[in-house]
Amino acid sequence: MGVKKGKQMKYTENSEQSDRILPQSTELEEAILSAVLIETTAFEVASNILSPDMFYDNVNRIIFEACAELESENKPIDLLAVVEQLRRVGKLEEAGGITHITQILQKVVSSAHLEYHCRIVAQKYIARKAIEYMSDAIGKCFNETIDIEDAISEVSRNIEKLQETAAGRMETKQLRDIMRKSVAEMYERMDKYGKGIQSGINTGIADLNRITGGWQKSNLVIISGRPSMGKTAVALHFAKSAAKKGTPVVIFELEMTDVKLSDRLLLSESDVPPNDYKVGKNSIEEAKEIEIAVGKLYNYKIYIDSNSTVTMEYIKSKCRLLKKQGKCEMVIIDYLQLIEDSGNKNSIREQEVAKMSRKAKLLAKELDIPVLLLAQLSRKVEDRTVKKPMLSDLRESGAIEQDADMVIFIYRDEYYNPNAEKGRGNLIIAKYRDGYTGEIDFAYNESMTKIFDYDKFNLAKNAPAPKNYYEKNNIPF
């Protein structure tokens, strides 16, 4: 009886009217099936990498499905068991019959290469799906009735699915192999510590550096506060401090223009009064001071995207590109509630924010960089006698709190209390997966264009320095 093979699909490139066979290797698929039918541990290896739909040939797919069904029922996998399983579900003839399955047994190669062969088959599946998604996108681009941004967003979501497929099935490792990396990274941190080098990216605030070791790779840091608390000012201080040490920083500024952001950075490096600068009242000497600030910031690797209507898909694709170019080792997004959702327009806002928060965490993990995500606090703070924020004050807070590795609230008591100390603020670490929670003091000038270490700022004014974070919170450092 002749074997009914899977359909040989072809991709037609319209511009050249040429046919191309989709990426596939039925020979490797059969070699994998042969190993699975002969060796008792082979299916475990193969199923950690492959799923039935990854097989290009329909016959091979059906046979692998039968193996998976046997495995789920804790039954042995061999030639007779697979034949019986196929007969039971009525797919024996569709799988080529007993003769074809017996022939597959002759295709076996060294089992030592089984994992490698499985990875090749998986890669070819991902390549086929990418072609499918891209071809669909091309068709939609020719359709003038379809919104082009929706088409691009769909491509991004589909490619993201493929990346998750690749990561989910190919990155599972045994603990002993992961521990080697843990120990190697431990010795690397010890070496840096011995040389006086912190492990993470400079935050620009000494107490925060001591607690965190700097911004750490793959961490999502939520920086939140009520309006006028200074979120952008503090975030720019973090960006400038990181760039000063040579770290490329990408800022997505959704609230103000790139020139306004540049103005703030220039004012942070000068003593020019912001109001005079805005209205053009500053003197020639002050103008020269701004030019000197330009010189200080000129070589800082800070990249600003001030597109006011961006999605997380846009941010992720832009960061991937900049990362490949060596221009993205830290990301700041200002701010979460201004990011547009590219998905279901009828979804609840809390669900939209949850998706974007999760995508920000995935971005940090995928690119192995810290992502600082600014977020608004709800008005609940204003209704309380004590105005210091809590985790429950985060707007649409549930998912944000869950996804974040660290949550920092910015609080300035003088905003609410006219008798409070001027120029003193708090960074409230409300959540920190890898360390202590508590409060850190920082100082700022009247216009909040400059951020300082509180101790240094007050010592410079000959004022008594407060107890530091560790003494206040009984931390054994």
Query: What is the SS3 assignment for 154?
Result: helix
- HSE on the CB side for 342, CA within 13 Å? 22
Query: What is the SS3 assignment for 23?
Result: coil
CA distance linking residue 50 with residue 448, whole number of Å: 55
CA distance linking residue 250 with residue 364, whole number of Å: 13
- Concatenated DSSP letters of 253-272: ESSS-HHHHHHHHHHHTS--
- Whole-angstrom CA distances from 277 to 264, 266, 294 are 10, 10, 14
Q: Nearest 5°: CA angle at 202, between 199 and 205? A: 120
In the chain, what's the furthest Cα-to-Cα distance? Answer: 96
Query: What residues does 428 pair with on adjacent strands?
Result: 409, 439
- Whole-angstrom CA distances from 38 to 52, 76, 311 are 18, 11, 50
- Edge-to-edge, what's the strand order for the sheet holding 424-432? 302-305, 249-253, 330-334, 371-376, 220-225, 406-411, 424-432, 438-444, 451-453
Query: What is the SS3 assignment for 250?
Result: strand
Query: What is the SS3 assignment for 455?
Result: helix
82, 86, 98, 107: which is closest to 30 by C-alpha? 107
In the set 69, 132, 255, 289, the catalytic residue is 255
Q: Is 255 a catalytic residue?
A: yes
Q: Residues with catalytic annotation? A: 255
